[in-house]
Amino acid sequence: MSVTLSQVAELAGVSSATVSRVLNANYPVATETRARVLHAVQTLNYELNAHARALTTASSDMVGVVVHDVSDPYFSEIIRGVQQVADEAGRLIMICNSLRDASRELAYVRVLRRQRADAVILVGGAIGDEAYEEKLTSHMQGLEASNSRLIVCGRSRAGTASVNAQHAAGAEALTRRLLDLGHRRLAFIAGPAHVGTSRNRFRGFKRALATAGITPEPTLMAQGDFSRDGGYEAARRLLRGGERFTALVGSNDLMAIGAMTALRESGLEIPGDVSVVGFDDIPVARDVTPALTTVRVPMRLMGARAMELALQSDGRSRAAINLRTEIVERESMGAPGS
């Protein structure tokens, strides 16, 4: 159906080897011959077949990136970083959404193995149990056996090259900051329980409370799905619960922003009645009113670093890069009752 190399060769009156050489520019071809070939390529509107090419060269110039959800700014920012480095290196990236489903994620990894991706980058917290981790290990070995590799980004994993940020430490520092301001009744909106990032941030929160000698109250804990609407609903549940709190910690910015809207709808002032803080520092965090205090995760940088690891041809490096997070104080946080 498609035009093939040999059709081009025939039209140009040369062998297919010559056409291949013109197209790849890796072998001397006489100027006049080259011109004739290029003309034939034009005439037939020919385009190389990447599959046939990959079959002989055993490489695809493609890196697979599996994220939880491209429409979540956390991930789209990471993707930006990945892509920038990929572009510079002339690599294509193939982006897949797992929607936080472990089996879908594994399915995508399989497909990427089949496509002989030069590397696979798994972005976002781990989302499965031990069986899932085992399968991942098997895929990793399979990738490495074909001279490819697996990188994780936004999570850490034993024996796997990784780029991560300090989720627990960041949450702990931010919570401590709230405690220092005098807050004692802190609400928390956790992310999905099966997501590693979510658990780590919660851990940091609890650690700060423990250090301050405060026992986290179950009635002040809610859970969302890391989406804006999830945060909104979680906040409404907290409010309906009737418990008072002077600060609310969202385990990501998206949920914190949804929660702010819910609080405002209940007539609460931010930060006067309730301080609200988030996590990630997605771009829009500056634009909500009051601007959101949060923990900055260097998302683009994480993506860039992950891609750099993916491109390392030396192969077997198991670098575990851990990037610092940093508190960004904006107007949504204040002393209680201020």
Partner DNA sequence: TCACCAGTAGAAAGCGCTTGCTGCTTGAGG
Partner DNA sequence: CCTCAAGCAGCAAGCGCTTTCTACTGGTGA
Q: Is 16 in the site for DNA (CB under 7 A)?
A: yes
Q: Least CB distance from residue 16 to DNA, whole Å?
A: 5
Given 39, 43, 52, 99, the residue binding DNA (CB under 7 A)? 52
**Residue among 14, 21, 15 nearest 36 (CA):** 14
Q: Least CB distance from residue 52 to DNA, whole Å?
A: 3
Query: Which range touches its own copies (CB under 8 A), out of 9-17, 52-60, 118-126, 242-250?
Result: 52-60
Out of DNA, its own copies, none, which partner does residue 261 contact, by CB within 5 to 8 A per kind?
its own copies
What type of residue is 65? V
Looking at the DSSP bridge assignments, the partners of residue 92 are 62
Is residue 218 within 8 A of residue 189, CB to CB? The reply is no
Q: Say how far apart CA 140 and CA 130 lie, in whole Å.
A: 15
Query: Which range touches DNA (CB under 7 A), out of 27-35, 73-81, 251-259, 308-316?
Result: 27-35
From residue 83, how far is each of 67, 143, 300, 320 by CA, in Å?
A: 13, 21, 9, 20
Q: Is 33 in the site for its own copies (CB under 8 A)?
A: no
Residue with the two structure tokens 């409010």? 239
Cβ atoms within 10 Å of 107's Cβ, excluding its own: 14
Q: Which is nearer to DNA, 57 or 71 (CB)?
A: 57
Given 214, 268, 284, 321, the residue binding its own copies (CB under 8 A)? 284
Q: Is 145 in the site for DNA (CB under 7 A)?
A: no
Kindly tell me the burial class for residue 83, based on how many C-beta atoms sit within 10 Å of its own C-beta (0-12, 13-18, 19 or more): buried
Query: Which range touches its own copies (CB under 8 A), out of 28-36, 88-96, 125-133, 182-190?
Result: 88-96
Q: Say how far apart CA 337 and CA 335 lie, in whole Å.
A: 6
Q: What is the largest CA-CA distance in the chain?
A: 85
Parallel, antiparallel, or unpaired for β 326-328 and 294-296? Answer: antiparallel
Query: Which range touches its own copies (CB under 8 A), out of 64-72, 168-176, 210-218, 243-251?
Result: 64-72
Q: Say how far apart CA 268 and CA 272 lie, in whole Å.
A: 8
Kindly determine how many residues on this chain lie close enough to bind DNA according to the rule CB under 7 A. 32
Secondary structure class of 289 (helix, strand, coil): coil
Q: Least CB distance from residue 252 to DNA, whole Å?
A: 41
Chain positions contacting its own copies, by CB under 8 A: 1-3, 45-55, 58, 60, 69-71, 73, 76-77, 79-80, 83, 92-97, 108, 110-111, 113-116, 138, 141-142, 145-147, 228, 257-258, 260-261, 264, 283-284, 286-289
Interaction site with DNA (CB under 7 A): 1-6, 13-18, 20-21, 23-24, 26-30, 32-33, 46, 48-49, 52-53, 55-58
